[in-house]
Homo-oligomer: A and B are copies of this chain.
Amino acid sequence: MYKQSILLNGQQLSIEDVHKVAVLKVNVEICPQALSKVKEARKVILEMLDSDIPIYGFNRGVGANKDREIEPTFYEEYNRNLILSHSAGVGPEASEAVVRATMLARLNTLLLGCTGIQPEIVMMYKEFLNKEIHPVVPERGSVGVGDITCLSHIGLAMIGEGEVHYKAEKKTAAEALKKARLQPIKLGPKDGLAIVSSNALAAGKGALVLKEVTDILEMAEIIYSLSLEGLNGNVSPLDKGAYKVRPFPGQEVSASNVRKYLQNSYLWQSNQTKALQDPLCFRDACQVHGTVRDSLEYVSNYMNLQLNSSDDNPCLLFEEKRIIACSNYEVLTWVLGFEMLGNALNHLAKIACYRTIKLSTPSFTGLPRFLSPSKETIAFGTIQKTFTSLANEIRHLSNPSSSDYFSLAEDIEDHASNSMHVVTKTATIIDNLYYILGIEAMHAAQAIDLRRENNLGVGTATAYTLFRSKVPFLDKDRNLSIDINEAYKLLKSGELLEKVKLATNKG
């Protein structure tokens, strides 16, 4: 289905590729020209060994220890000490997908030749990915100016220390390397820093999150379409005319998607029973989704740049035979993009909740209160608290976090971005959204059933049928936690999206 493997050269890794390698476990290959660069860069670094120019993390210490000289005889031990002392992350353990995304992100940028790392380590990243050796990486401990406290745990595994997951078991790295017939790495000059000094954890996890946002946004559009049918809502806000005189790009795409999902729906028939204007949660949905799209585009563009540019300091310009102290580890632009995206998702969550409330309200739907199928049934009264509490969590998660840090390392490190925390809270927002949208779908499907309306759109009909195969019509009160959980799993699995895409793109 997918191409056999993904070819890496440091310049073309996409967010989609990260998903394939990390989640679908597609193999990677290294472009030979890129590997040549790595080798040439290594040669340049080794030539510099004889020079006496002070270079951070090479013949000088790192952080506040940048004033300490490192003797050549001490290179191996120094780099080993660096890996050990930087192994200071705390749990939880990163998931397999995140560990893979991290190794991939670091591997790809190593191919730019800006580190001077020994080529054997580059190959080791490839082996770890393709042989599915997954170091145990604690996910917390980074302030986002290089994820050094966490990436060091990958270095640990490469030198045969620490632990890994391999063939469905957690074992020592030493044992796993042996079973996989790999030699532990013997660290040389600058190797330690090249392994740890990168934002690969936040970038790798960040790329996975962006892929999820892309997908959940389309699911939100599908479920909004379903709700519109549940409401017997007004389609006038989808009119192309409005988007012509106000061409905000994201909302044009969203409206176009919704029109596609609703193709052939009964909603397009003229109808005297409709409200002149629906509540804003319905009317503005494409605008709010459009804002998420606009935000997503901003952060995705910069994430692509991140995945294909150097985040090394010092940075080796091997063609110029220069190594420069710089600030390539700064990732603030896309971290703030994530904060904006979280804020946008918060709005999306909130209008989904408001739509769900409206679907339960007779004055908006003309249907029974709480979509109850009979007088004896309480139905969807109490469940409003569930999604409200999840939206409350999202509101809290949408508070900014990037700028709360203090000055470290003898006052040298007085800026940070908290990239990992920002990325992780975005991931949590998405997880809550699966529940919220799942509950909205429960309501939309119930309203459609009570309305006895069969002429759904091309996309919504598919969504409805699939949804009902997991969560049946609520004909009497039952334990709703089970239904919520089924809805959650259906969305999170991606099946709903896939089936609807298939149905709406086939012609």
A–B complex contacts, Cβ < 8 Å, 12 sampled: A66-B276, A84-B480, A85-B477, A161-B479, A239-B326, A245-B328, A250-B333, A290-B333, A384-B409, A389-B421, A392-B401, A399-B399
> In angstroms, how far is the closest chain B Cβ from the Cβ of A452?
23
Do A403 and B481 touch across chains, with their CB atoms under 8 A apart? Answer: no
* A-B CB proximity, top 8 nearest: A287-B330, A242-B326, A85-B378, A81-B477, A280-B415, A141-B386, A245-B310, A340-B340
A245's nearest neighbour on chain B, judged by CB, is B310
Give complex CA distance A91, B484 in Å: 10
Please pick, from B251, B410, B480, the residue contacting A88 in the complex, using a CB distance under 8 A: B480
Please pick, from B330, B344, B381, B396, the residue contacting A404 in the complex, using a CB distance under 8 A: B396
Kindly supply a per-residue 1/0 record for chain A positions 402-425, scoring 1 wherever the CB is within 8 Å of any chain B CB and 0 otherwise: 111111111111111010110001
Task: Determine whether A443 belongs to the interface, using a CB cutoff of 8 Å to chain B.
Answer: no
Task: Determine whether A456 belongs to the interface, using a CB cutoff of 8 Å to chain B.
Answer: no
Give complex CA distance A54, B390 in Å: 34
Best-buried of A68, A340, A414 by chain B (most CB within 10 Å)? A414
Residues of A433-451 contacting chain B, CB below 8 A = 435
Please pick, from B234, B322, B390, B477, the residue contacting A140 in the complex, using a CB distance under 8 A: B390
Extra contacts besides A287-B327, A388-B406 (15): CB < 8 Å: A54-B276, A82-B477, A88-B481, A149-B389, A236-B324, A245-B309, A245-B315, A246-B305, A281-B415, A283-B327, A291-B336, A392-B404, A396-B404, A399-B399, A406-B406
* Residues A90 and B386 in contact in the complex (CB < 8 Å), given A248-B333, A324-B236, A376-B77: yes
Task: Determine whether A221 belongs to the interface, using a CB cutoff of 8 Å to chain B.
Answer: no
Residues of A26-83 contacting chain B, CB below 8 A = 54, 56, 60-68, 74, 77-78, 80-82
Give complex CA distance A281, B412 in Å: 8
Task: Determine whether A288 belongs to the interface, using a CB cutoff of 8 Å to chain B.
Answer: yes
Task: Determine whether A89 belongs to the interface, using a CB cutoff of 8 Å to chain B.
Answer: yes
